[in-house]
Structure 1
Amino acid sequence: MAGWHFDPEIIVFLNDLKANNTKDWFTENKARFTADYKEPADFFKNIMQHQLEDAFGESYNAKIFRIYRDLRFSKDKTPYNTHLHISFVPSGLKSLAWYFGLQAENLVLGTGVFGFEKDRLNSFRETIVSKKGDQLADILADLQENGFRIGKPDLKKIPRGFDADHPNAYLLRYKGLTVWRDFADTTPATSGDLTALCTETYREMKPFFDWMQSFYQSS
Structure 2
Amino acid sequence: MSNTTGQLIPDAQAFLAELAKNNSRDWFKTQKSRYDLQVRDPAQTLLSEVADYLRPHHPGIQGKLFRPQRDLRFSKNKTPYHTHVHMLWQLPGLPGAGLFFGIEANRLRVGGGVMTLKGAALTRWRSAVAGQPFTRDYPTAGLDHVAGHDASPDSGFADELAALTDILTLKRFMANAAELTRVPAPFGKTHPHADLLRRKSLTLWCDLDPKAQIVPMGTICSAALMLEPLFILLRPILTDIDTA
Is the radius of gyration larger for structure 1 or structure 2?
A: 2
Q: What one-letter code is carried by the residue in structure 2 that aligns with 1:89?
A: Q
Deviation at 1:218, TM superposition (A): 4.8
Q: Which residue of 2 aligns with 1:119?
A: 120
Aligned to 1:101: 102
Bigger Cα displacement from structure 2, 17-26 vs 140-149: 140-149
SS at match of 1:67: coil
Q: Distance in 1 between matches of 2:79 and 2:197?
A: 35
Partners of 1:87 and 1:97 within 8 A in 2: yes
Contact kept in structure 2, 1:102 and 1:186, CA below 8 Å = no
1:83 equivalent in alignment to 2:84: yes
RMSD of Structure 2 on Structure 1 (CA): 1.9
| Percent of residue pairs bearing the same amino acid type | 30
Among 227, 230, 234, the alignment partner of 1:205 is 227
Separation in 1, partners of 2:32, 2:2: 29
The 5 Å alignment of 1:112-151 reads 112-130=113-131, 131-151=156-176
Q: Which aligned pairs between 1:34-73 and structure 2 lie closer than 5 A? A: 34-54=36-56, 56-73=57-74
Q: Distance in 2 between matches of 1:178 and 1:123?
A: 17
Given that 2:95 and 2:239 are in contact with CA atoms closer than 8 Å, whether structure 1 keeps it comes out as: no
The alpha-carbon deviation at position 123 of structure 1 amounts to: 1.9
Gaps of 5+ in 2: 132-155
Aligned length: 215
CA distance in structure 2 between the partners assigned to 1:72 and 1:162 by the alignment: 38
- Describe the SS at the equivalent of 1:156: coil
Matched residue type, 1:172: L
Give the AA of the match of 2:28.
Answer: F
Distance in 1, Cα, partners of 2:197 & 2:61:
29
Residue 194 (1) aligns with residue 196 (2):
no
CA distances 1:11-36 after superposition (whole Å, capped 9, x unpaired):
11011111111111111111111111
Partners of 1:193 and 1:98 in 2: how far apart? Answer: 16
Letter in 2 for 1:17: L
The answer to whether the Cα contact below 8 Å between 1:2 and 1:193 also exists between their aligned partners in 2 is: no
Provide the TM-score with structure 2 as the length reference. 0.81
Inter-partner Cα distance in structure 2 for 1:186 and 1:45: 22
The one of 16, 19, 24 aligned to 2:18: 16
Shift of the alpha carbon at 1:154? 0.6
Q: Which structure is higher in helix share?
A: 1
3-state SS of paired residue (1:101)? strand
Which aligned segments of 4 or more residues in structure 1 are displaced greater than 3 angstroms? none
Task: Work out the CA distance in 2 between the residues paired with 1:146 and 1:186.
Answer: 19
